[in-house]
Every structure is written in structure tokens, then in C-alpha cells.
A and B are shown apart, each in its own frame.
Chain A
Amino acid sequence: MKADVVVVGAGIVGSTIARELSKYEIDVAVVEKEADVAFGSPTKANTGVIHPGFDDPPGTVRAEHCSRGNALWHNIAREVAAPFEEVGCLVVALKDEEIRVLEELKSRGDANGVPDLEIVDDDRLHRIEPHLNTGAVAALLAPTAAITSPYELAMAMMENAVRNGARACFETEVTGITVKQDRVRGIQTTRGEMETQFVINAAGLWADRISAMVGLDQFTIHPRKGEYYILDKKAGYLARHVIFPTPSPISKGIVVTPTVEGNTLIGPNAQDIDDKRDMATTHSGLAEVWAGACRLIPSMADKNNMIITNFCGLRPEPDTKDFIVGSSKTVTGFINAAGMRSPGLTAAPSVALKVVDLLTGIGVELRRKPAFDPRRRSIERPMRESSLESAQSLIKEDPDYGYVVCRCEHVTKGEILEAIRRGASTLDGVKFRTRAGMGRCQGGFCGPYVLKLMSEELGIPAQSITKRGRESNVLLGRAKDLLREGNSND
């Protein structure tokens, strides 16, 4: 196998870079060790906020890419028909002393070119955010802050990249990179070798390991765990903006935010851990998240019967304390887009533009592809978004869109089949593309039916369908198998 450029990692950073590169007449391959786009922890499980860009001091790489990334997403999200809502954010001061921090953030934001920042007084604050703690004294309002669904956004970007000629190779883990005479020559993977002269390291949590494969070990990535609760849409009225507390030095704090689907999301806490595979939520962490959210929205306290689920994500925290974006000085053809913890999601399209510059800088000739189509069509959701008339005509065209499979989120059979056709190969892949199983019953009702549909559509037995790849099989055989094997309870 051969590719002009290999992007390692199909998270939001890798997908966005792949889509940017698919605008040019080069052969791009994305290799990803997981079974689908956005299955790695940082993209799958984060707050889904497109930050305005006031958090990082001017002069940092993060500041350079955050406010530019925010502006870029406003267009790109629309092009690829991913969910995106400019709800604005509030950084809330609960004490008079914190107003000073808001002023600092505002002047930082102004210096970073963030538009329309203002500090709002308590009167207006409680009018625009009615369930906020009545003790809040002021807030920094950033109207350009937006919310998205990070996995849907990454999937939409990759889908558009593939439509424009990029290749995506899943369950393909990079095991080595061949370097000869200080130039990248190829990669080795669990599925064989690939010749290439250019490798872009967007490997998220594992970017330090990929970098070490070309002999560069100037940085390490350590995981910082953040836990979340997602609440029922019935509690979706609690927050109108992304609501931050006044930040601490290590984290932006526990946030209360609406989601693009109308749920309320709370979290994350920040826990430095050692194991990049530790994806377990904890009693203490979840308690911390709950308490943090109640400080901002006190009426949250009696909403624990509204919890849909909890989850956690790992931030890829670089020891260099900033994004690592640049060409290797010693190995030609190796480019890092690493250490992209928050605001990595926001910064991704700006970093992708930077990667194009870096490739040009090391002699890659990039010619625009005239046939590049920036637009992606989203999966139709007749029972949720469109008017009843357009739903009627869609069902007439394709009756599968009239059959509701997921009762809680009103997802139809047509949507599930379309998700499978667009590349969903696992239960989570279907869930992330359609929301089947994300509602109150958590797939209890639709799970068996989705398995059946996947089995029919993919032409594989239901027992080989996994939740998210590898050994995560949902079923462990046919009924009566164990009796035939002669196993028993005694």
C-alpha cells in the first residue's frame, strides 16, 4: 500500500486534517487503531464546546488556533451539516473577588481577537440565565461560543474527506515508522506496511508514542480524566448558555451546558491519572461533578432522577503545556498535531490549515482539486426535525423512514440503515450517527432490533457484532449453545 500523506488518528484533529487535505490533488490515508471515527476517548467524550478563545494567553499556540478555529467552524460545520449552535458562553463570578478574573479573561480575549466580549451585571445575567445561582454577581459573556456533538462533527468531517478521495483504515494500529536518511519512508501497522513520505501525528493520547517511533521523544502526553453526567431532555431547560465557573489554573472547571440535542450536560472534573486506558468513572469523581453543577444551578440538586448516564473522557495533556504543532526539525516529513487537549476541538480547523502550510514548507506540491465538494448531506431525521409534510413525502419515497426503531429518540429504521451504509460497523457507530440507544431506556428496547438490522445489512451473524470493536461482542452465542456444550450451573 502507498499514500502521499498518512494521518495517524481519526479523532477530531485527524478527521479535520484529512478533510482539509482532501481539497488537494494528493493521496491521503488515515489510519486509526479503533473501529470507527471518534472512538478514541478525547473526541468521543468531551464537553462539545467550540470555545471563543479567551482562556489562553496571547502568544501561545493554543491562543493562536482557538479564536481562528472558532471562526472557521461557523462555516465548516454548516458545510458538513454537523450539529452546531452558537449559544454563547458565560464565565460566572460567584464572589466579588472573581470579577477581577473575568476582567483578565476579557482583556486576554480582546488581545486574542475574540469578538463581542462583555461583562454583564447580575441583573442582566439572571435575566438571560434564569436558573443560575442567585448569588452570581457578574459574568463574562462570549456570544461566539458554540456547542456541537464532537463525535458527529468528526464523523461528518471524515465522511466528507472520504467522499473527496481520502481513505480511512480502521482497526489499524501504527506499530512503527520507517525513517531513512532522516526522511520518513513508510509506516508499519497491525495490517501491514504502507509507503509514504509524510506522516501527520494526530494520535491524541498516544501521540507521544507515535513521535517516539521516529526517534523524537521531546514530549509526553499524560491522561487527565474528566467525568460527566448527561441529563434527560426534560431537564434541558436548566441552562441556556455554556456556563463556566471562574476557572482554576488547571481546568476551566465543571460546566453546565445545553447539548445540541436539548439535554443538559454537566462536567468535567479533572483528575490526573497514569493509565491511558483507564476509562472508568468513579463515585468520588461523579460526586464532585454533581456538586460543581449544583453550585452553578442550585435547582439541579433534586434532578438526580433525570440522569440518563455518566461517562468519562481523557484529555491528552502534553508536558510542554501547549499544543505541539510543527514539522520535525530532524526527520523530514514528520509533522506533529499533538497535545491538543481543550480547546483542541475548537482549534482543529485552524491547525489543519497550519498543517497545509507545513507540508508546503517541506516541499509538498499542493494543487487544488477542482472536484472538491465541501458539502455533506446529513442523515434525514423525519420524526425529529422536519415538518410533518416533509416527513410524509420522505416516508412515501422510503417507507423505512416511517418505522421508529428507537422509541426514546424517535430514530427510524431508515436512519439506522443509512448510518450503516455510511460506515457504522458497530453498535456505538450506529448510536453516534443516529442517537439510537442514547435516550432514557439506553437501548433496552431498540438494542435487539438494531443488532438484527446490522446483521442483515452487513451480512454477518449478530453474535459477531460488537459494541465498539475488538472483543466487545454484545452477544455470546446462540440460545442453547451452552446446553450443547454440556455446561451447567452446578
Chain B
Amino acid sequence: MTEMNEDVVVIGGGAAGLAAAIRAKETGAESVLVLDRDSELGGILPQCVHTGFGLHYFKENLTGPEYIARFVDRARALGVESKLDTMVLRLKPEKEIVAANSLDGLLTIRAKSVVLAMGCRERTRGALSIPGERPAGVFTAGTAQRLMDIEGFMPGKRVVVLGSGDVGLIVARRFAVEGAKVEAVIEILPYPGGLARNIIQCLEDFSIPLLLSHTVTAVHGAERVSGVSVAGVDEKGNLIAGTESMIPCDTLILSVGLIPENELSEEAGIILDPSTGGPVVDQHMETSIRGIFACGNAVHVHDLVDHVTETGIVAGSSAAKFALGELEPLKNRVRLRPGSGVRYVVPQVISGYQPATVYLRVRNPVRNATIRAGDITFPLRAARPAETVTLEFTEKRNEKLRGKAELEISLEEKGHVD
């Protein structure tokens, strides 16, 4: 068995992992190794051929491949090592990793610190329990995108998309641009999940109907999909009797949620937050195991890759400092908990002595509200569940945190709800 020793090992070479590896190297870690199961670096971005990436981080409008190429190039220039087509099989709490690939066979890698950047996976038809037949032609949005943009195939010609998050909208447009007929995008909620600009640029510009407060109730087709049944749902999400109709199509695309991939974290014994599906992290992005850090969509599903990059930078810097013996333990750990109107808060632990950026998601769309964290308040003009809200705990605000062990963050609505 091949054995290796590294300062920092990053599991996952997507946007989060590359940012972490680069920053770890920049911070002074001597050896930084990225492990990825795909045959190229970049994670999901090489297949995201649309624009909209980098508006915050680079102040430029880039495509996915353009955005990630900058990180791949930088990592190479800095001497970040990588092993591709390599699957991590085990992560032990003492920071020993067992991985496999064709070239080395089995690898044991001992790391001074580890960064988890495994990203997320798509929720499937099975997880949603959509009943009906099981024909060919049901794909998750990411798989369809990969087939079109990397492999060069058409997964379908007459398409229904379930889920109006940004991924669903972008894939609907991608099908339309390829000349496929997109019959409808279906959304169970009474409002669309994706950004307003994507509703216009992906649906309205291509005359694709958006069916709100509806869902797919059955899949039809013995061999290939022949259609889907759709029905209206009430505010509680219950089906409304008598509203069922059939949309003929050959393909159903599911864009119904992403799930952080944390099987390795769980096996290592890292504590997960049930509200995010990712590890509980502090503002260093350190997990419940000392020296193991996490970032990006493995921690919680982000709305923008720019934010993913930022969490990678924090994790990479912390991991390098830990490997060099320079990471001071967090002073005065304050555990943040989501209160009313708040679905989750990340990081879950901050200090009263260092500035921290905290991301949260609201449960329902709100306007003119206030976010309250103990004595600290943040005005919130508008937010939707699909967008993360960023809270800056500045040095001044932080003074009010000192001495606290726990803090609930909740939403106080002043104005009306959409």
C-alpha cells in the first residue's frame, strides 16, 4: 500500500476545495494535496457553461469553466498537488485517509489537517417518492447538464422540469437552446425558487411556462417517459383533488434540492447539523474534530459559487495554520441557533473576539424585517429562502457576544410577507 504524509489534504477539487488548497499554500503549508474522484479539477463548474459566476468575487461575469480555470491555474502555479480519478474510501478521526485509484491502488495518507470539500448531490425521484412507472428519461438537472455539456448528448427532446430553483431554470433554458421543447417548469411553492433575473432570462425569454403551486404526481411510460401527471397543491402542500392533468413529454428533469455529501464526515464521527446536513463548523470552518475543516456545499448548500469560494479560503487558511501549529483555539465560543423564521445559521459557532461572517437562510420570503441576535440587530430589506443572507459580526457588534455560550438568531417581521 502506498503511504503519504501531507500538511493539508483537501477532499474534493471543486470551487471550495481549490480555494482552500490555494489559500493553504499561500498561508505557508508546505505540502497541499487535493483528492478528487473526477478526471479533472473543478467539481461541477466545468459543466456550468452559462454565465453569472464571479460577479461578487471577481466583479466580472464569467462562465463556470472560466471561473474555475482561474483557480485551477493558480493552484498549479503554487504547486498544489492533486490526485484525480481518486476515491476517498475512509476518513479516520486521527486524520488518516484511505483512498483508491488505478495508478496507486490503495493509498494511506496521513495529514496534519484535512479540509472536507465534497460538495453535494442532487435529490432524486426516489427520495421524493414520486410514484408511477420507472421508464428511461428521468434525470436530475445536473446529470442532464453533464450529458449535454460534457458528453455531448441530448437526454430528451420534449421536457418537463420539476423545480424552479436556479439550477432548474438554467437547465430548462439549456434544453431550449438545444432546440428541445420545454413544456413547463413546475414549482410546488406559490413563488419561484430561482433569482428574478433567471426567471426572465431562462423562462420568459424562451416562452417556457412556469406552473406555480403544482407538482408532478406520477411518471408514465413503460419504456421511455411518455408523460407526467401534474396537479395543483394548496398552501400546506396537499394535492387539490380534481386538478390533475397529463403533460405528454419524453423527459422529466428534477431540480428538487441538493444534499451535502457527508458520508465520510459521518463515518469519521464528525457532528452534523440536521438543519444544514453538513458538519457543525466554527468561524475557522473547523468541525467537531480538531484539525478537520469543511467548506463549500459540503457544509450547506450555497446560492452562489462566490460564497463557496469564500468559505474555502477560510477553511484553507485555518487548515494551514493548524498544520503549522499556529491556529489559536477560538476564544469564547458562542453557539448560534436558528430561532423563529430562520432555517439555519452557518457557521454555528463564532467568537466574541474576532469578526465573523455568518450566513443564514430564512424559512419564508420576507420584506422589511429585522434579524435579531440577542442585543444585536440587522435590518433585512428582503429575503427569500433560496438566497442566503449574510450577517457581518464586526468587532463592534461582537462586544455584545462576549461571555455568552449560546445565541438564538431569529427573524422579526415588521412588514408584510410576500
Kindly list chain A residues whose C-beta atoms are within 8 Å of the C-beta of B153.
Answer: 462-463, 475, 477-479
- Nearest A residue (CB) for B172: A489
CB atoms of A474 and B143 under 8 A apart? no
Q: How far is the CB of B302 from chain A (nearest CB, A)?
A: 19
CB atoms of A476 and B250 under 8 A apart? yes
Instruction: Classify chain B's interface size.
Output: 35 or more
CB atoms of B224 and A471 under 8 A apart? yes
The number of residue pairs between A and B whose CB atoms lie closer than 8 Å in the complex comes to 174
CB atoms of A283 and B131 under 8 A apart? yes
Kindly list chain A residues whose C-beta atoms are within 8 Å of the C-beta of B124.
Answer: 309, 440-442, 444
Does residue B5 face the partner (Cβ distance < 8 Å to A)? Answer: no
CB atoms of A403 and B127 under 8 A apart? no
CB atoms of B126 and A308 under 8 A apart? yes
| Among A74-82, A117-125, A134-142, A480-488, the stretch in contact with B | A480-488
CB atoms of B224 and A407 under 8 A apart? no
In the complex, A403 Cα to B84 Cα: how many Å? 10
Kindly list chain B residues whose C-beta atoms are within 8 Å of the C-beta of A440.
Answer: 121, 124, 127
- Nearest A residue (CB) for B141: A444
Q: How far is the CB of A172 from chain B (nearest CB, A)?
A: 17
Does residue A60 face the partner (Cβ distance < 8 Å to B)? Answer: no
B126-150 interface (Cβ within 8 A of A) = 126-127, 129, 131-137, 139-140, 142-143, 146-150
Kindly list chain A residues whose C-beta atoms are within 8 Å of the C-beta of B105.
Answer: 391-392, 395-396, 399, 402
CB atoms of A482 and B101 under 8 A apart? no
- Cβ contacts A292-323/B at 8 Å (1 or 0 each): 00000000000011011111000000000000
| Among B174-182, B315-323, B340-348, B375-383, the stretch in contact with A | B174-182
- Nearest B residue (CB) for A446: B143
Does residue A383 face the partner (Cβ distance < 8 Å to B)? Answer: yes
- Cβ contacts B283-302/A at 8 Å (1 or 0 each): 00000000000000000000
Does residue B217 face the partner (Cβ distance < 8 Å to A)? Answer: yes
CB atoms of A476 and B156 under 8 A apart? yes
B356-372 interface (Cβ within 8 A of A) = none
Does residue B37 face the partner (Cβ distance < 8 Å to A)? Answer: yes
CB atoms of B87 and A279 under 8 A apart? no
CB atoms of A283 and B217 under 8 A apart? yes
CB atoms of B103 and A402 under 8 A apart? yes
Query: Which of A389, A444, A448 sits near B151, CB closer than 8 Å?
Result: A448
- Nearest A residue (CB) for B1: A392
Does residue B6 face the partner (Cβ distance < 8 Å to A)? Answer: no
Does residue A454 face the partner (Cβ distance < 8 Å to B)? Answer: no
Does residue B80 face the partner (Cβ distance < 8 Å to A)? Answer: no
Q: A280-B133, A442-B126, A470-B223 are in contact. Are A478 and B121 (CB under 8 A)?
A: no
Does residue A25 face the partner (Cβ distance < 8 Å to B)? Answer: no
Does residue A127 face the partner (Cβ distance < 8 Å to B)? Answer: no
- Cβ contacts B95-110/A at 8 Å (1 or 0 each): 0001011111110000
- Nearest A residue (CB) for B259: A440
Kindly list chain B residues whose C-beta atoms are within 8 Å of the C-beta of A488.
Answer: 179
Does residue B4 face the partner (Cβ distance < 8 Å to A)? Answer: no
- Cβ contacts B199-232/A at 8 Å (1 or 0 each): 0000000111000000001101011100000000
Kindly list chain B residues whose C-beta atoms are within 8 Å of the C-beta of A199.
Answer: none
- Nearest A residue (CB) for B152: A479
Q: A309-B126, A482-B178 are in contact. Are A472 and B157 (CB under 8 A)?
A: no
Q: A388-B1, A444-B140, A489-B207 are in contact. Are A309 and B125 (CB under 8 A)?
A: yes
Does residue A445 face the partner (Cβ distance < 8 Å to B)? Answer: yes
Kindly list chain B residues whose C-beta atoms are within 8 Å of the C-beta of A277.
Answer: 222
Q: How far is the CB of A263 from chain B (nearest CB, A)?
A: 12
- Cβ contacts B149-192/A at 8 Å (1 or 0 each): 11111111100000000000000000010111110000000000
Kindly list chain A residues whose C-beta atoms are within 8 Å of the C-beta of B240.
Answer: none
In the complex, A228 Cα to B98 Cα: how many Å? 35
Q: A445-B121, A489-B180 are in contact. Are A481 and B154 (CB under 8 A)?
A: yes
- Nearest B residue (CB) for A388: B106
Among A230, A281, A389, the one with the most B-chain Cβ atoms within 10 Å of its Cβ is: A281
- Nearest B residue (CB) for A477: B154
Q: A392-B106, A476-B157, A482-B180 are in contact. Are A444 and B121 (CB under 8 A)?
A: yes
In the complex, A282 Cα to B132 Cα: how many Å? 6
CB atoms of A489 and B181 under 8 A apart? yes
Among A230, A413, A471, the one with the most B-chain Cβ atoms within 10 Å of its Cβ is: A471
A: residues with CB less than 8 A from B are 229-230, 277, 279-283, 285-286, 304-305, 307-311, 383, 388-389, 391-392, 395-396, 399-400, 402-404, 407, 410, 413, 427, 440-445, 447-448, 451-452, 462-463, 466-483, 485, 487-490
**What are 16 A-B pairs at a CB distance below 8 A?**
A280-B218, A281-B131, A308-B127, A389-B1, A395-B105, A399-B102, A402-B101, A402-B103, A403-B101, A404-B100, A407-B37, A444-B143, A462-B153, A476-B250, A483-B178, A489-B179
Beyond known contacts A388-B1, A402-B102: 19 more, CB 8 A cutoff: A229-B129, A308-B126, A308-B127, A309-B127, A310-B129, A395-B102, A402-B104, A404-B87, A442-B126, A444-B124, A444-B140, A447-B143, A448-B143, A463-B153, A475-B147, A478-B152, A488-B179, A489-B206, A489-B208
